[in-house]
Amino acid sequence: MTDARDGTAEARRLPELTYFFPAHNEAANVRGLVEEALAELPALAERFEIIVVDDGSRDETPGIADELAAAHPEVRAVHHPTNLGYGAALRSGFAAGRLAYLAFTDGDRQFQVADIRRLIDGLLLPGDAAHPPDVVAGYRIKRADPLVRTIYARMYRLANRIFFGLRVRDIDCACKLFRREALEGIHVESGGAFFSAELLIKLEAAGRRISEVGVPHYPRTAGRPTGAKPQVILRAVRDFWALRLRLWASPRRALRRGSSILG
């Protein structure tokens, strides 16, 4: 790979990149996000693929995803017959990815594909070149969310720090980049909103290095959020305590529970 230190856009390109996003009833956003990715990803990777994970949508999302896949060879669609949850959708994206680096955002367009460049720079220009990061996790520089969601997020971050020692500042920021090899041997059980936390906890337990970079966060302009629904929060709380209790009882067994991230 070209030396990234010369600062050119070409030097910062990855050799290959899987970009995926979960979409549940995101008909108003899917087409625009895929078009944005098709326009931006050539500047980020020499070779790329785009995966739309339709998580049991009841609107036009499945049809739009299939239409885009038929029109563009870089695009593939993965469908869940029913809504399985945010974590299950991310798991399907990871499992479907074929390339050496994997990045995801959400399907609500509150992150821009171009900002994945910040993650790539964090991967290719580490502070300690002898120990480059395996994962670059974005953190929202300024959250474009209602105050109540920001308060929930702070409480959640504190709980993960106290009970798991996880010091990532924005656990659920949906803008992350992974080396594929870092995900080998990692298993995650949660299919809901606790998925990202469980993945980071298990990556750290496996000795993977996590770096963080700030990314912009934009207001949602179409579609409806679902992350603050009571059933979503209750499922995350259940999965949180299930992992904590299993780690206390048998750490080795707890770390092996769940499905392999890479399928």
Residue 1: the pLDDT is 29
Supply the pLDDT for residue 128: 61
Q: 130 or 13: whose pLDDT is higher?
A: 13
Q: What is the pTM of this model?
A: 0.91
Is residue 187 over pLDDT 60? yes
Q: What are phi and psi of 133, to 5 degrees?
A: -70, 150
Residue pLDDT, tens place only, 16-48: 999 999 999 999 999 999 999 999 999 999 999
Check residues 132 and 27 and name the one with the higher pLDDT: 27
Distance CA 111, CA 83 (A): 23
**71-90 pLDDT, tens per residue?**
999 999 999 999 999 999 99
**Residue predicted with more confidence, 210 or 7:** 210
CATH 3.40.50.970 is the classification of domain 4-260? no
CA angle, corner 224, sides to 161 and 36, nearest 5? 90
How do the domains of the chain map onto residue ranges? 4-260
